[in-house]
Amino acid sequence: MKLRHFFPLLAGISLGASVSATSIDNHMPYLTLSDGSRIPQLGCGVWELNGQEAYKSVTESIKLGYRLIDTAQYYRNELETYQAVLDSGIPREEFYITTKLNPSNGSSEKNIRDSLDRSLKNLGGKIDLVLIHWPFSNDEMAWRIMEEYVQAGKFRSIGLSNYSPDALRRILKIAKVKPVLNQVELHPYNSKYPTVAEYEKEGVKVEAWSPLGAGRQGLLRDPVIADIAKAHGKSSAQVILRWDLQRGIITIPRSKNPAHIKENISIMDFQLSDEEMKQIDALNRDDALWDI
């Protein structure tokens, strides 16, 4: 099979009407990153899914309209994730694929380059977005190498994951290519309003991993969220993901359950009121699995 590799949604390419973070229609909302590229605001995560599970999850997600796919070297499912994209029959340029550099592969310049090259091979030769998965001792060297891959046209954008505001600013000081986003743990029990404001002040978008609470079953049963969900005829998960969208957060829920995958994307037909947003905001307790 001859593969086509394009970078979709570049600035200056018309893709129809722009969709705001709070618009209500049948279309996926997109956000514009600092380098002019555009990213779907809701995506499919494959953390903790083995290769076969990732393939099935991504396949189902694509059928339902997801186009942002988030994988990582650490997850060991890049190849299966990309195979699902290929097998969909949908042109590659319609997808936005993210992977992440595993700091365990960052002990030397050679190891960093080798790991990035493996990801390129696994993901078809070009990648929309590559993140550093978490801060590590050689991350400034890794950043400079990743900048080379951007300049060579192999990566369209680069960014960070699990970086505190101070760690982000450290990278910004040496960056020739600015990070376009920072992926962090974010959900109503860990809403990160002050730190999100710091990231956004630097022109860095925020993407939420584990937006449904990182396994905290109490979040999905929270009475405040449950009452809001009942008022809209939606589930608690749908209310939480809608809260993300209306905050301007990119969000990547993960599921291998087809019903949940469908539920997670069925959030474009309602809107939370300002009062409902404030009620969810008030649930914050700085309860995070990952302390940054």
Looking at residue 209, what DSSP letter applies? E
Residues in the chain, how many?
292
DSSP string, 86-98: HHTTS-GGG-EEE
Q: What backbone torsions phi and psi does residue 152 show, to the nearest 5 degrees? A: -85, -5
Q: Is 75 a catalytic residue?
A: yes
Residue 286, CB half-sphere, CA atoms under 13 Å: how many?
4
For residue 225, which of 203, 242, 245, 208 has the smallest C-alpha distance?
242
Buried b (16+ CB within 10 A) or exposed e, 219-234: bbebeebeebbeebeb
CA dihedral (257, 38, 292, 144) in degrees, to 10, reads 120
Q: Which two tokens stand for residue 281?
A: 């905001």
User: Measuring CA to CA, how many Å separate 150 from each of 4, 35, 60?
Assistant: 19, 11, 31
CA angle centred on 32, ends 55 and 58, rounded to 5°: 5
Q: Which of 55, 75, 163, 189 is catalytic?
A: 75
| CA neighbor of 75 nearest in space, from 192, 161, 157, 146 | 161
CA distance 273 to 262: 23
Query: Scanning the structure block, which residue is given the tokens 């891959």?
Result: 149
Q: What are phi and psi of 109, to 5 degrees?
A: -60, -40
260 annotated as belonging to a binding site for a ligand: no
Binding site per annotation, positions for substrate = 133
Active site members = 75
